[in-house]
Amino acid sequence: MKTRFKPKFNIKKGDMVVVITGDDKDRTKPRKVLEVLVDKARVMVEGVNIITKHTKPTAQNTKGGIVKQEAPIAISNVMLWDAKAGKPTRVNRQRENGKLVRIAKKSGEVIK
C-alpha cells in the first residue's frame, strides 16, 4: 500500500477480534491480534491462517523440518470484539481529555 500518509486503523496489537470472512470465519469466537502490519494493511491473528513452513536446520533450530505458523490476513477481514455486548462492533473515535479514545458503537464502551 503506497500512500503519502500513514493510514489509521482501529485495530491494535493485543485487541480481541473476530474473523468475519475467509476460511477461519467465526463471528462468535474472539481471538487475539498478535501483530498489525500497517504498511500492508494486514494483521496477524492467533490461530488464524495457519501455514506450514519448511525450515532448514540452524544453530537455533537444530532439527529443522516443517513448522506451523500464523500468516497475516487483510485487516478488512477482522472486526473488533465488544466484550460487553458479546458481539463484533464498529469503532468510533472521540477526544477525551486531549487523548483520542476508541469507543465501541454497539455498547458505547471505551476500548482499552
pTM above 0.85, yes or no: no
Are 15 and 46 within 8 A, CB to CB? no
How far is residue 65's CA from residue 73's CA, in Å, rounded to a whole number? 24
Are 53 and 64 within 8 A, CB to CB? no
**7-55 per-position pLDDT tens digit:** 889 999 999 999 999 999 999 999 999 999 999 999 999 999 999 999 9
Ranges of each domain in the chain: 15-85
Report CA-CA distances (Å) from 81 to 17, 29, 56, 89: 5, 9, 38, 6
